[in-house]
A and B are shown apart, each in its own frame.
Chain A
Amino acid sequence: MLGLIVITVGLGPWVWPLPAKLIDLGARNAGPGWAHPLGTDQLGRDLLAQLLAGGRVSLAVAGAAMIVSISLGTALGVLSGMFRWLDGPLMRLTDLFLALPVLPLLLITVALFRAPLSAALGPETGIFILIVLAIGATSWMSTARILRGEVRALMARDFIRAARSTGTRNGAMITRHVLPNIIGALTVSATLGVASAILMESALSFLGLGFPPDMATWGRLLLDGTAHLGNHPGRALWPGALITATALAVTWLGDGYRDQNDPRHHAR
């Protein structure tokens, strides 16, 4: 299903050629029909085209932000789990980040870096990078905590001691023994991250910190649509359904992946 969503969204313009930003004042608030399979919004923009265009942005943001946050989280989690002397400082750092109020932090980040990044890379790419980094940098903490716990439990297991006694170096220890054993927790974290990144992006856009209002994303379509839930439910339901479907699909993917690759799972 994820594949289907990704392919459809990726091929967007070939699947449905109408441009997402086209304003057609003659076809405002149109219901589903041949010209507009899912109807149009209050400015006569085609909902299907917007969903496809929005999907590309949302999936790209979610994927990229997830990679940033998982890399940070894994690095910190594994390091503090394996090395006692790093545990204290790294976990206090995690506490610090958890204690920081996310929204004011993002406000400052956006205020400081928005203009220079937009100038250097163009408004859309600049904001894309900013949002990905902002979401990634403020959502790695739970991953780090979970993985630290997993790694510490692992370090007390016999096979790790055995590996150590045969002189396995730290780097090899991480790649050969630790990472394969925490892959389950890692994938679960990652999949949850994808879903929350989509929603986080929409919240940011809503507050004016995210993409400009003319750039469709699923989150923005959902927020815009909720006001019309009474008379045009499709406008909120379609983007909502796509966010849910994506989150579910990613979670199942993670589940399936864990079932295949978790060594503990095989042992049972």
Chain B
Amino acid sequence: MQLHTLAFFVAPFITLASTVIPAHSSDAQQGRDGEVRILYWQAPSILNPYLSGGIKDVEAASLVLEPLARLNPDGVMTPWLATEIPTLDNGGVSADLTRITWHLTPGLTWSDGSPLTARDVQFTFQYCTATDGACAQKDKFRDLISVETPDDLTAVLQFSAPRPYPYGPFVGPQTPILQAAQFADCIGPRAPGCTEQNFAPIGTGPYTVQEFRPNDAVRFTANPNYRDEGKPAFGSVMFKGGTDANAAGRAVLETGEFDYAWNLQLAPEVLDAMAARGKGSIITAFSTLVERITFNMTNPDPALGEDRATLGEPHPALSDLAVRQALAMALDRDVMTQIGYGPTGRTTCNIIPAPPIYASSANDGCAAQDLEGARALLSSAGWVDSDGDGVRQRDGTHLRFTFQTSTNAVRQNFQLLAKEWWRQIGVATELRNIDASVFFGSDPSSPDTMQKFYADIEMYAGASDGPDPASYLGQWACGRAPSPDNAWQGSNVARFCDPEYDTLLDKLTQTAGLAERAEIARQMNDMLVQNYVVVPLVDRGRVSARSNSLAGVQINAWDSELWNIAEWRRVTP
């Protein structure tokens, strides 16, 4: 009896851990497990990722369309339709870093039975870069000038400038390969009009589109020409969109109507209560989405008029490193993580917390709260409460700050906690919360945007696009500081300006080789964190839920969450 109970509890974990090993022999039949029901609370509106930037659309399309390579859950690049990842060492990347050669796996076919060739790769490039076209992924094809096809299985990408990290196009779910034959008449301005193609693209993936109702649901059936014998295990996929995160969580965890629910950003107590019903479990994956506090290095005083919050006017208090460090030391990041995110977040001291090779270990231990140390630091820097009003001052400048963020229950809790801790070290804080559409709206005429930063301290979340942090770290370049000259569109909201940092950034954009790049990226991360330009708080994970009868799920924060749906199968919980 006892043994039986034990097996009952352990079984799901064993199956989860052993997903890499095929659980069924190759003679097992495709479609043997019937239907899997997936719920995305944002419904897909199109199945062509080149015409939509929405995650819901990209992930729905990822069942059908596939790229040359993907990132696995650890952020490591894995060949998908290609035989191997081209690198300098294997000769796939040319020495001058401008050419990259991909080799397609021989014998691959589209779901209609026709062969996949390098011509399709070339066509996809032409499709996205066509003049007058509105390709949503154009940025990924930046500097790519041609794709040559020396033979049917080789595609050579030629860039106009050296690309130390050349894995932009055809890697990841945003830039899959389209079938040239199907989309031939849909180039440029005609692309959005090709409804039939955009709603039911032909792909190489495990599923084909059977029926698509935009903004409602998609029904997929298994691709009879799929390359792996006996896969996928599910003959059809019901991909439903709509409702909200709360209802989606209930549908999997409480009622069991669905097998998989995506993106459940709910309060930790709410999630725990749902999971306690025992119908399913919560799965998380972490990438680089970090909730952070940013200090304004420039003076936001309205009296400065035009020069308000621009580089010429340093902040009277926050330009002092001691003040920034003390504010950071007063925070108990573990408590914040626990209250705000529970199991779906983890405390971080780095602005780049992943993949492991890029994560610096120089800042470990930052998370411990040290109120006494913060007080001592402020006192030794000359900030003392000489008039007895509970607020420290120096040369007539009081430590009174405005702390703004978007309206969001978790962020308001964080604000309240920070205010209380800062009060204990003699810093007064005025809190402001701004509607998210305004705060993140980047409208240059609004005074309340994150970029304008007409406050002293602000909090928001940001992430690196993909595992390579070059463009992400580039956000803190001096020239990217928002100002009236660039219509307040810069990404360096802290107005951090350090020539040394900019030099490192230049070096990063010219260095190839993963280990060297990681070394520079870690240095830059440490500069940002140890100068207390940003205070990383929580590494926020992707949260989804799966039914206990669903096995093979490996949630992936770097790629589509459904990246390995061909491996999914039904088990008895």
Which A positions have Cβ atoms within 8 angstroms of B? 21, 23, 25, 28-29, 42-43, 107, 111, 115, 119, 123, 206-209, 212-214, 224, 227-228, 230-231
Contacts and interface: CB of A to CB of B under 8 A. Distances in A.
Contacts of A21: 420
A208 B269 CA distance: 25
10 contacts: A23-B420, A43-B416, A111-B446, A111-B448, A207-B435, A208-B406, A212-B430, A214-B416, A228-B270, A231-B269
B108 interface: no
B433 A42 contact: no
B339 A207 contact: no
A24 to B, nearest CB: 10
B283 interface: no
Contact of A206 (B406, B407, B415): B407
A25 B273 contact: no
Given A23-B416, A43-B413, A224-B409, A123 B269 contact: no
A208 B409 contact: no
Given A29-B269, A42-B339, A111-B448, A212 B432 contact: yes
B480 interface: no
Interface in B209-237: none
A42 B413 contact: yes
A119 B432 CA distance: 15
Interface of B: 267, 269-270, 273, 302, 335, 339, 406-407, 409, 412-413, 415-417, 419-420, 430-435, 438-439, 446-448
B339 A111 contact: no
Given A25-B335, A28-B339, 4 more contacts: A119-B302, A208-B448, A213-B433, A228-B267
Contact of A123 (B415, B417, B430, B435): B430
Nearest to A232: B269
A213 B431 contact: yes
Contacts of A230: 270, 273
Contacts of B269: 29, 42, 228, 231
Contacts of B438: 107, 208
B340 to A, nearest CB: 9
Contacts of B406: 208
A257 to B, nearest CB: 39
Chain B, interface SS category: helix
Contacts of B446: 111
B270 A231 contact: yes
A208 B430 contact: no
A208 B407 contact: yes
Contacts of B419: 214
A259 B268 CA distance: 53
Nearest to B454: A115
Contacts, number: 62
Contact of B415 (A42, A107, A213, A231): A213
A180 B466 CA distance: 72
A43 B421 CA distance: 13
B273 A43 contact: no
B448 A43 contact: no
Contacts of B302: 115, 119
Nearest to B267: A227
A230 to B, nearest CB: 7
B270 A43 contact: no
Contacts of B434: 208
A227 B407 CA distance: 14
B428 to A, nearest CB: 10
Contact of A227 (B409, B420, B433): B409
Shortest Cβ-Cβ A-B pairs, 10 listed: A208-B434, A208-B433, A212-B431, A213-B412, A23-B420, A207-B435, A208-B407, A213-B433, A213-B431, A208-B435
A74 B20 CA distance: 76
B273 A231 contact: yes
Contacts of A23: 416-417, 420
A42 B417 CA distance: 11
Nearest to B302: A115
A47 to B, nearest CB: 15
B225 to A, nearest CB: 47
A114 B284 CA distance: 41
A123 B302 CA distance: 15
Nearest to B274: A230
A214 B431 contact: yes
Contacts of B430: 123, 212
A119 to B, nearest CB: 8
A17 B419 CA distance: 22
A27 to B, nearest CB: 13
A196 B379 CA distance: 49
A230 B272 CA distance: 12
Nearest to B268: A42
Nearest to A213: B412
Nearest to B433: A208
A29 to B, nearest CB: 7
A207 B407 contact: yes
B447 A111 contact: yes
Contacts of B417: 23, 43
Contact of B339 (A43, A115, A231): A43
Nearest to A123: B430
B416 A213 contact: yes
Contacts of B420: 21, 23
A113 B561 CA distance: 46
Nearest to A22: B420
A29 B447 CA distance: 36
Nearest to A124: B430
Contacts of A224: 409, 412
A238 B522 CA distance: 51
Contacts of A231: 269-270, 273
Contacts of A212: 430-433
A156 to B, nearest CB: 49
Nearest to B409: A227
A201 to B, nearest CB: 15
Of B413, B416, B435, most A-chain CB atoms within 10 Å? B416
Contact of B432 (A25, A28, A107, A208): A208
Contacts of B267: 42, 227-228
Contacts of A29: 269
A40 B412 CA distance: 16
